[in-house]
Amino acid sequence: KAGVTQTPRYLIKTRGQQVTLSCSPISGHRSVSWYQQTPGQGLQFLFEYFSETQRNKGNFPGRFSGRQFSNSRSEMNVSTLELGDSALYLCASSLLADTQYFGPGTRLTVL
Protein backbone atom coordinates (compact mmCIF):
# COMPACT_ATOMS: atom_id res chain seq x y z
CA LYS A 1 0.00 0.00 0.00
CA ALA A 2 1.16 3.51 -0.69
CA GLY A 3 1.86 5.58 2.38
CA VAL A 4 0.49 8.95 3.38
CA THR A 5 1.35 11.60 0.81
CA GLN A 6 1.47 15.34 1.35
CA THR A 7 1.73 18.15 -1.15
CA PRO A 8 3.52 20.38 -1.58
CA ARG A 9 6.66 19.33 0.28
CA TYR A 10 8.01 22.86 0.58
CA LEU A 11 6.28 26.21 0.52
CA ILE A 12 7.40 29.79 0.99
CA LYS A 13 4.82 32.46 1.72
CA THR A 14 4.82 36.01 3.05
CA ARG A 15 3.03 37.37 6.08
CA GLY A 16 -0.67 37.98 5.55
CA GLN A 17 -1.04 35.43 2.78
CA GLN A 18 -2.99 32.22 3.10
CA VAL A 19 -1.93 28.66 2.33
CA THR A 20 -3.59 25.33 1.63
CA LEU A 21 -1.86 22.03 2.29
CA SER A 22 -3.07 18.68 1.01
CA CYS A 23 -2.92 15.17 2.43
CA SER A 24 -3.87 11.82 0.89
CA PRO A 25 -4.22 9.08 3.51
CA ILE A 26 -3.35 5.42 3.20
CA SER A 27 -6.01 3.66 1.15
CA GLY A 28 -8.88 2.56 3.39
CA HIS A 29 -7.98 4.87 6.25
CA ARG A 30 -10.83 7.12 7.29
CA SER A 31 -9.18 9.24 9.95
CA VAL A 32 -6.82 12.06 9.05
CA SER A 33 -5.05 14.15 11.67
CA TRP A 34 -2.84 17.21 11.30
CA TYR A 35 0.10 18.21 13.48
CA GLN A 36 2.48 21.14 13.61
CA GLN A 37 6.13 20.71 14.53
CA THR A 38 8.22 23.69 15.58
CA PRO A 39 11.55 23.80 17.44
CA GLY A 40 9.97 25.65 20.36
CA GLN A 41 6.66 23.83 20.79
CA GLY A 42 7.46 20.37 19.49
CA LEU A 43 4.76 18.26 17.86
CA GLN A 44 1.30 19.66 18.49
CA PHE A 45 -2.09 18.36 17.43
CA LEU A 46 -4.10 20.64 15.16
CA PHE A 47 -7.27 18.69 14.31
CA GLU A 48 -8.65 15.35 13.25
CA TYR A 49 -11.21 14.48 10.61
CA PHE A 50 -13.14 11.25 10.41
CA SER A 51 -15.71 10.59 7.70
CA GLU A 52 -15.67 14.26 6.65
CA THR A 53 -16.41 15.49 10.20
CA GLN A 54 -14.02 17.25 12.51
CA ARG A 55 -13.79 14.97 15.51
CA ASN A 56 -11.12 16.71 17.57
CA LYS A 57 -9.49 20.10 17.60
CA GLY A 58 -6.29 21.26 19.24
CA ASN A 59 -5.53 24.58 20.82
CA PHE A 60 -4.86 26.65 17.71
CA PRO A 61 -6.47 29.93 16.56
CA GLY A 62 -9.32 29.98 14.09
CA ARG A 63 -6.89 30.93 11.31
CA PHE A 64 -6.15 27.22 11.13
CA SER A 65 -8.91 25.22 9.50
CA GLY A 66 -9.33 22.00 7.64
CA ARG A 67 -11.70 19.76 5.81
CA GLN A 68 -12.00 16.21 4.61
CA PHE A 69 -13.49 15.00 1.37
CA SER A 70 -15.58 11.92 0.69
CA ASN A 71 -12.49 10.03 -0.53
CA SER A 72 -10.82 10.77 2.86
CA ARG A 73 -8.33 13.20 1.34
CA SER A 74 -7.86 16.21 3.58
CA GLU A 75 -6.75 19.80 3.28
CA MET A 76 -5.72 22.28 5.90
CA ASN A 77 -5.77 26.02 5.42
CA VAL A 78 -3.95 28.74 7.29
CA SER A 79 -5.15 32.27 6.68
CA THR A 80 -3.39 35.56 7.44
CA LEU A 81 -0.03 33.88 7.87
CA GLU A 82 2.28 34.99 10.67
CA LEU A 83 6.02 34.46 11.01
CA GLY A 84 5.33 32.02 13.85
CA ASP A 85 3.40 29.74 11.50
CA SER A 86 6.69 28.63 9.95
CA ALA A 87 6.80 24.93 10.75
CA LEU A 88 6.72 21.39 9.49
CA TYR A 89 3.07 20.42 9.00
CA LEU A 90 2.44 16.72 9.31
CA CYS A 91 -0.54 14.69 8.29
CA ALA A 92 -1.28 11.25 9.72
CA SER A 93 -3.88 8.67 8.83
CA SER A 94 -5.36 5.72 10.66
CA LEU A 95 -8.05 3.15 10.13
CA LEU A 96 -10.07 4.05 13.20
CA ALA A 97 -8.82 5.37 16.56
CA ASP A 98 -5.57 3.45 16.51
CA THR A 99 -2.04 3.68 15.18
CA GLN A 100 -1.40 6.79 13.12
CA TYR A 101 0.94 6.70 10.15
CA PHE A 102 2.57 9.94 9.17
CA GLY A 103 3.36 11.50 5.83
CA PRO A 104 6.65 13.24 5.01
CA GLY A 105 5.31 16.66 5.94
CA THR A 106 5.10 20.07 4.30
CA ARG A 107 7.78 22.55 5.30
CA LEU A 108 6.16 26.01 5.40
CA THR A 109 8.35 29.09 5.62
CA VAL A 110 6.69 32.46 6.23
CA LEU A 111 8.78 35.52 5.36
Partner 1 sequence: DQQVKQNSPSLSVQEGRISILNCDYTNSMFDYFLWYKKYPAEGPTFLISISSIKDKNEDGRFTVFLNKSAKHLSLHIVPSQPGDSAVYFCAASEVHAGNMLTFGGGTRLMVKP
Residues that bind partner 1 (CB under 8 A): 4, 6, 31, 33, 35, 42-45, 48, 50, 55-56, 58, 88, 90, 92, 94, 97-105, 107
Q: Are strands 106-110 and 10-13 parallel, antiparallel or unpaired?
A: parallel
Residues, the chain: 111
For 51, residues 6+ apart whose C-beta sits below 8 A from its C-beta are: 30, 68
Say how far apart CA 36 and CA 58 lie, in whole Å.
10
**Residue 13 or 30 with smaller CB distance to partner 1:** 30
In the bound complex, what is the minimum distance in angstroms from residue 59's beta carbon to partner 1?
11
**Residue 62 or 96 with smaller CB distance to partner 1:** 96
In the bound complex, what is the minimum distance in angstroms from residue 5's beta carbon to partner 1?
10
**Residue 3 or 79 with smaller CB distance to partner 1:** 3
Say how far apart CA 111 and CA 12 lie, in whole Å.
7
